[in-house]
Amino acid sequence: MTCLEPSILGNFSKLQRYLAFKKHQILPRRHCSAINLKIRQINETDTSAIKDLVRSSYGRTLAEELEDQNRGLTSIIVAWVDTIPCGYSFVSWKGPRDPEVRSKLPNIPEFYCLTVIEPFRCRGIGTALIDFMEKTARNQGFTQMGLGVAHTNLRAHTLYQHLGYKEAIEEYYDRYPCLDETGHPKEAADLCRFMVKNLD
């Protein structure tokens, strides 16, 4: 799964109350430093706070994702504005998830499912999440970071280019299980490119 567009706002009542309270005065564009933003790896105690935000892969539970994190396979990173979880990303520490990409680019950690919920976008939170994951990778001795982005996701592609990511694999299909319109399991495939950044 490369890109997720969360439709969680409908049942995200805490966020709605927060936004109603703050009206339009908060979160000036591009002024991440003006908001109380915290980014950290989550743990079991955060489960109820982030369960409506973090989307696990189809067929997997958040508990299973946390188990992978405890085994050192992945990290789940969440951005909080005050007490509101507003963005997240996974990192795979054992190389790119796609077997074809992994065979060509082994040992490069990959971040995936990067998402900032709509009212919080364009305030630098996505960039701050990426920055946090890059620093974490550097601290673990990695010299590169990678990601897969769908060919159709031009804005995210622009953001990654802006942050120094370069095309390493032009085309591959990100295949993942999901449900069709009638609720039956199927395999979807997005045409993606894999991008890599050298972490200096």
**Residue numbers at the binding site for ligand COA (CB under 6 A):** 2-5, 114-116, 121-127, 149, 153, 155-156, 158-159
How many residues are present in the chain?
200
Between 40 and 71, CB nearer to ligand COA? 40
H helix or E strand, kind and range, residue 104? helix 99-104
For the CB of residue 97, give the shortest distance to ligand COA in the complex, in Å.
13
For the CB of residue 148, give the shortest distance to ligand COA in the complex, in Å.
7
Integer Cα distance of 64 and 61 in angstroms: 5
Between 84 and 182, CB nearer to ligand COA? 84
C-alpha torsion sign, points 164, 118, 79, 101? negative
Residue number closest to ligand COA, CB atom: 126
Between 63 and 178, CB nearer to ligand COA? 178
For the CB of residue 12, give the shortest distance to ligand COA in the complex, in Å.
14
Between 50 and 67, CB nearer to ligand COA? 50
Between 35 and 67, CB nearer to ligand COA? 35
For the CB of residue 96, give the shortest distance to ligand COA in the complex, in Å.
13
Residues 6+ apart with CB under 8 A from 64: 56
For the CB of residue 39, give the shortest distance to ligand COA in the complex, in Å.
12
Q: Which own/partner pairs from 162-171 qualify as long-range (CB within 8 Å, at least 24 positions apart)?
A: 163/127, 163/130, 163/197, 164/197, 164/198, 165/195, 165/196, 165/197, 166/195, 166/196, 166/197, 167/193, 167/194, 167/195, 168/104, 168/105, 168/194, 168/195, 168/196, 169/101, 169/104, 169/105, 169/193, 169/194
